[in-house]
């Protein structure tokens, strides 16, 4: 029995090693703080990873938002860069709120852990205004989310924590494009890398990687 367990353990370790080796070959070595092709950001640029969301230029709740659609709640958890768990009394519980128009880094991408910890420090237990854009299901929705007058969707682009979705058709898209360009020019967040991989491409690569291993 012990011999059999040892063999199983060796096989499992070998399988994990193959996955890690293949990932390094496909994506290159990546750590939370340094990657191949990374720009040499100055100390001032590096500190911009923890920007103040209330400094996002030109962003306040718009008059064109209908007040009858506005929801209020408190942020209970930050599940992902672009996905918050918000307690919304009008909806009788915690809703999964996905930030409209943006796509945050995947949890397996470099620097995700740094970004998510900062977001939790900044926004956990904060009161929020939610302007729904669309329903995903009974307990989740896409929305614009504001904390103390700052739009989180806009901040994530300005800080370099997320990408603007290619198919985004919201009326703010030109403004969001400008914020993303500002982050890129300042080498903030994900833009500290010379050739950052969009999260949708990362997902496709990871799917292809695991399929090739399992075949």
What span, in angstroms and rounded, lies between the C-alpha atoms of 120 and 108? Answer: 18
Q: Write down the pLDDT at residue 198.
A: 86
Decide if 130 is inside a domain: yes
What span, in angstroms and rounded, lies between the C-alpha atoms of 194 and 172? Answer: 27
Decide if 152 is inside a domain: yes
Decide if 7 is inside a domain: no
Burial degree of 101 (CB within 10 A; 0-12, 13-18, 19+): buried
pLDDT 10s digits, 142-159: 999 999 888 999 999 999
Residue 194 has pLDDT above 60, yes or no: yes
pTM (two decimals): 0.71
Give me 141's structure tokens.
């929705």
- By residue count, the chain amounts to 215
Decide if 52 is inside a domain: yes
Helices 199-214 and 2-27: crossing angle, nearest 10°?
140
Q: Write down the pLDDT at residue 33.
A: 37
Q: How many domains does the chain have?
A: 1
Range picked from 22-26, 56-60, 130-134, 135-139 for highest mean pLDDT: 130-134
Residue 54 has pLDDT above 80, yes or no: no
Residue 3 has pLDDT above 50, yes or no: no
Range picked from 21-25, 166-170, 185-189 for highest mean pLDDT: 185-189
CATH number, domain of 152, equals 2.40.50.90
Decide if 19 is inside a domain: no
Of residues 124 and 62, more confidence is placed in 124
pLDDT 10s digits, 56-80: 776 555 544 555 578 999 999 999 9
Give me 39's structure tokens.
């720009």
Percentage of the chain lying above the pLDDT 90 cut: 38
**Residues of the domain holding 71:** 35-195
Q: Write down the pLDDT at residue 215.
A: 64
Decide if 3 is inside a domain: no
H/E segment holding residue 16: helix 2-27
pLDDT 10s digits, 105-119: 888 888 889 899 999
Burial degree of 182 (CB within 10 A; 0-12, 13-18, 19+): middle
Q: Write down the pLDDT at residue 24.
A: 40
Decide if 28 is inside a domain: no
Decide if 6 is inside a domain: no
């Amino acid at each position: 029995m012990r011999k059999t367990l040892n063999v199983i353990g060796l096989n499992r370790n070998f399988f994990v090693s193959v996955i890690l080796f293949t990932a390094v070959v496909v994506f290159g070595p990546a750590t939370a703080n340094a990657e191949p092709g990374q720009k040499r950001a100055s100390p001032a640029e590096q500190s911009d990873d923890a920007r103040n969301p209330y400094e996002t230029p030109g962003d306040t709740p718009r008059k064109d938002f209908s007040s009858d659609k506005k929801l209020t709640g408190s942020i209970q958890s930050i599940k992902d860069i672009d996905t918050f768990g918000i307690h919304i009394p009008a909806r009788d519980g915690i809703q999964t709120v996905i930030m409209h128009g943006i796509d945050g880094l995947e949890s397996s991408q470099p620097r995700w852990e740094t970004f998510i910890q900062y977001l939790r420090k900044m926004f956990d237990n904060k009161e929020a205004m939610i302007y729904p854009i669309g329903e995903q299901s009974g307990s989740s929705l896409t929305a614009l989310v504001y904390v103390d007058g700052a739009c989180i969707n806009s901040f994530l682009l300005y800080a370099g924590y997320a990408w603007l979705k290619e198919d985004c058709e919201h009326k703010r898209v030109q403004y969001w494009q400008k914020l993303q360009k500002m982050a890129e020019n300042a080498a903030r967040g994900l833009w500290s890398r010379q050739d950052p991989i969009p999260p949708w491409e990362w997902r496709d690569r990871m799917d292809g990687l695991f399929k090739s291993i399992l075949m």
